[in-house]
């Protein structure tokens, strides 16, 4: 006996979510509606810009709904009338009241960018990198009224490489999220999913990022600073001050070398990078951005700013 396709409502906003929506559109089930946050002003002209999810939905001729909230009766009735089998949520950005969670036949299922319960909350990709985790992944989760506290339905793991940034890890997990979602939906239809409770004692909260977090503390170790550079790229990015210049660091490598120089001191510079002392080890700054300029390799930067990066100069 053939299994009927699921009627799916998809709710998401950024590029991470758009990858899951693309996967659904290539799959056997039917996306009957898309929910995404209202258009935001963006760019120099501050024109209203649709979310990446909305752009994918419009290209596929799928009806798009953009309520400011789902807590009001009108928005809930509109959603209920769609009569969906399941609602898929990925980085939507709006709270789903219990009434909404209970509407679809199979409830609401979330695509979460962490191996739950490790990182719950808004910035799991960045927090995994900043914490020095060796692996992360995707958890497909049955949503409940808590913050990423629902039963786990499926997990997919990926190793965190020494060269990974939040950007590279985001892109890999976005693709993996779509693949894991399709696998989970097939198991849902065949009734072979085995929900697993989360261990709350293992949970950490992945707080939203702030620009202030990007400031480098040279009293930390080279390893910690390198993780900050990778974990905060491309936003908000790690930064430091040199002669009142706010310099963003886009790429850096912790070296297996030590120095007796004061933390923050430049100890050497060449085309490979600018080596700086920390409390533990040296770090090589390989790609930097001066105020009002484009990001440049250390070699490019030194060609026109060698005096600024002389040995002994101290980053604040």
- The rounded distance, in Å, linking the Cα atoms of 262 and 241 is 15
Q: How confident is the model at residue 46 (pLDDT cuts 50, 70, 90)?
A: confident
Other Cβ atoms less than 10 A from the Cβ of 55: the count is: 16
The whole-angstrom separation of Cα 35 and Cα 88 is: 10
Q: What is the pTM of this model?
A: 0.94
Q: How far apart are alpha carbons 287 and 75 in whole angstroms?
A: 47
pLDDT, tens digit (0-9, with 9 covering 90-100), for 64-112: 999 999 999 999 999 999 999 999 999 999 999 999 999 999 999 999 9
Element (H, E) at 76: helix 73-80
Query: What pLDDT was estimated at residue 1?
Result: 41
Structural domains for the chain: 7-206 (3.40.50.170), 212-309 (3.10.25.10)
pLDDT of 98-150, one tens digit each? 999 999 999 999 999 999 999 999 999 999 999 999 999 999 999 999 999 99
Judged by average pLDDT, the poorest of 178-182, 220-224, 257-261 is: 257-261
Count the alpha carbons within 13 Å of 18 in the hemisphere toward its beta carbon. Answer: 17
Other beta carbons within 10 angstroms of residue 280's beta carbon come to: 16
């Amino acid at each position: 006996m053939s299994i009927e396709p699921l009627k799916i409502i998809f709710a998401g906003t950024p590029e991470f979510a758009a990858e899951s929506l693309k996967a659904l559109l290539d799959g056997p089930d039917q996306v009957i509606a898309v929910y995404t946050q209202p258009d935001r002003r963006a760019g120099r002209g501050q024109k209203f810009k649709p979310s990446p999810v909305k752009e994918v939905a419009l290209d596929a001729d799928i009806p798009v709904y953009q309520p400011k909230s789902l807590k009001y009766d009108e928005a809930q009735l509109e959603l209920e009338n769609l009569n969906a089998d399941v609602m898929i949520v990925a980085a939507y950005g709006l709270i789903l009241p219990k009434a909404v969670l209970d509407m679809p036949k199979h409830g609401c299922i979330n695509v979460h960018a962490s191996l739950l319960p490790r990182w719950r909350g808004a910035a799991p990709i960045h927090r995994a990198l900043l914490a020095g985790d060796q692996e992360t992944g995707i958890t497909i989760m049955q949503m409940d009224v808590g913050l990423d506290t629902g039963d786990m339905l499926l997990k997919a793991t990926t190793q965190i490489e020494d060269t990974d940034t939040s950007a590279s890890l985001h892109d890999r997990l976005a693709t993996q999220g779509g693949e894991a979602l399709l696998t989970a939906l097939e198991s849902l239809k065949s009734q072979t999913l085995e929900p697993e409770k989360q261990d709350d004692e293992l949970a950490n909260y992945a707080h939203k990022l702030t620009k202030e977090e990007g400031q480098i503390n040279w009293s930390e170790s080279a390893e910690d600073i390198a993780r900050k550079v990778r974990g905060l790229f491309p936003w908000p990015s790690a930064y430091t001050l040199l002669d009142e210049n706010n310099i963003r660091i886009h790429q850096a490598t912790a070296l297996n070398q030590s120095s007796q120089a004061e933390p923050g001191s430049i100890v050497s510079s060449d085309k490979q990078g600018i080596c700086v002392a920390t409390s533990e080890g040296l770090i090589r700054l390989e790609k930097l951005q001066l105020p009002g300029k484009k990001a440049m390799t250390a070699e490019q930067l030194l060609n026109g700013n060698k005096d600024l990066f002389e040995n002994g100069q101290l980053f604040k």
